[in-house]
Structure 1
């Protein structure tokens, strides 16, 4: 009986230790996940240079990641002008190089211009040096085109790692993610894009979009929803208090 009791006691202690180890592993995993919607990579969620939203933001930030569809970029700007609102355009350097006039027009109309890298690469697989080599040329190009300081970087596909954050910190860039992704690059459904962009939308949120045909179709309704619900559409930097 004594041996049986000791055996049960030892088994109980082992189970407790194992359970605690599992809990520790879960906590560590949650603390170091940079992005759960695409490539999952290690990155501290305590990094002061990483933003998924504006915690004290006064409005909603519509973000457009641009590497193609120049005609739709122009249509989006026309719609934003019609509603009298401003947005942030995260622009790929390779696209900017071929569309200098459009980039300049985005800035001239009062929108925020930010970096989306140069060649739409996977930043989660890069060293700090490689991240700098990919991001810096786009920043320099956008600086030159718009004659303004570029302050923000959005990693393509939301893929980044600790090296990306360190690289951006060294270049004075904030890394911007999002609270909701319309997935408009994949799902060609204006109604679905509208729902993803607006359902339970709150001030301080960052909404990710691309210049697709369906986004152009959905955008007026999205802006109507924002206005009718007492919200405002503002740039990311404005939402972050700059």
Structure 2
């Protein structure tokens, strides 16, 4: 009988230990005996990146912040435990949000994304050139790229099908005001009325919120920026100008842009013949070094790695 009891006790002990092992294996125990886990934990500080708050730069004005990052020890361990050794490429990170975002800052124009973000954005201002838009949309679709179309309210009223086509392809639609007015010569009240009129037309045609305003010709005063803010819009300018409206050759068009690319660049385009024909080559050249995203992506605090 004593032998039977000892055997039963041994079986129960084995089952208990096996169950504990199974639970521990799935929950990754914090234990000094787990050398790999402790090694990953000890390296956390080496890979920690502090989040950066959004700020108003003296030159570049309102500038987005960027998430920090920290090692997720448990998930990193799960990816490495099969090999049983530390592998930097298998580290898993959690992003840390900054305390100050773009929306927390006072009214100010925006020119670029974060200078450490390897992404650029295409800003296409539309007050004319309807005949070139379908070709541009097709090219962007073929290259799996989303752009930003800033559409004049008067243009939108005349070309509803184009506006809806742009949205159906997943592009961001912003406001270019109404009737290509010079916002530098308008009071805040006049700017507000102009933006409200344009937004009313755009909102009747699309489902997305109009959150970005590109002043025609880049002409504005702080009154216009404040009027846009009162409409829950950010004012966007650019850092790279194609000057495509002057009908340059395709070679000149491409060089003007590719020679000035940088992290966080905003690239100004229009629906012109040279832009329509050269857009595919431009996108291919940009993609060699940068991602291309909408303004919502470029200005987000998400980091690439």
Shorter-chain TM-score: what band?
0.7 to 0.9
Q: Which sections of structure 2, spanning at least 5 residues, go unmatched?
A: 1-57, 62-104
Tell me the distance in 2 between the aligned counterparts of 1:92 and 1:151.
14
Decide whether the 8 Å contact of 1:57 with 1:241 is kept in 2: no
Deviating runs (4+, > 6 A) in structure 1? 31-34
Helix, strand or coil for the counterpart of 1:51? Answer: coil
1:170 matched to 2:209: no
1:217 matched to 2:277: yes
The Cα offsets for residues 110-157 of structure 1, whole Å up to 9 and x where unpaired, read as: 000000001101100110000011111111211110122100000000
1:101 matched to 2:161: yes
Q: Which sections of structure 1, spanning at least 5 residues, go unmatched?
A: 1-30, 35-45
Cα displacement (A) at 1:203: 2.5
1:66 matched to 2:126: yes
User: Which residue in the other structure is 2:210 paired with?
Assistant: 150
Among 20, 34, 51, which residue is 2:110 paired with?
51
Aligned length: 200
Aligned 1:120-131 pairs, distance under 5 A:
120-131=180-191
Structure 1 residues 48 and 167: CA distance shift in structure 2, 3 A = closer
Structure 1 residues 200 and 67: CA distance shift in structure 2, 3 A = closer
Tell me the distance in 2 between the aligned counterparts of 1:88 and 1:78.
15
Tell me the distance in 2 between the aligned counterparts of 1:69 and 1:108.
19
Length-normalised TM-score, structure 1 = 0.78
68-77 or 114-123, which deviates more = 68-77
Cα displacement (A) at 1:184: 0.6
Structure 1 residues 192 and 49: CA distance shift in structure 2, 3 A = same
Tell me the distance in 2 between the aligned counterparts of 1:232 and 1:33.
21
Aligned 1:1-242 pairs, distance under 5 A:
48-55=107-114, 56-229=116-289, 231-241=290-300
The Cα offsets for residues 34-88 of structure 1, whole Å up to 9 and x where unpaired, read as: 9xxxxxxxxxxx9554110012544110111011121211110000000001000
Point out which structure has higher relative CO (alpha carbons under 8 A, 6+ apart): 1
Tell me the distance in 2 between the aligned counterparts of 1:148 and 1:211.
22
Larger Rg computed on CA atoms = 2
Length-normalised TM-score, structure 2 = 0.62
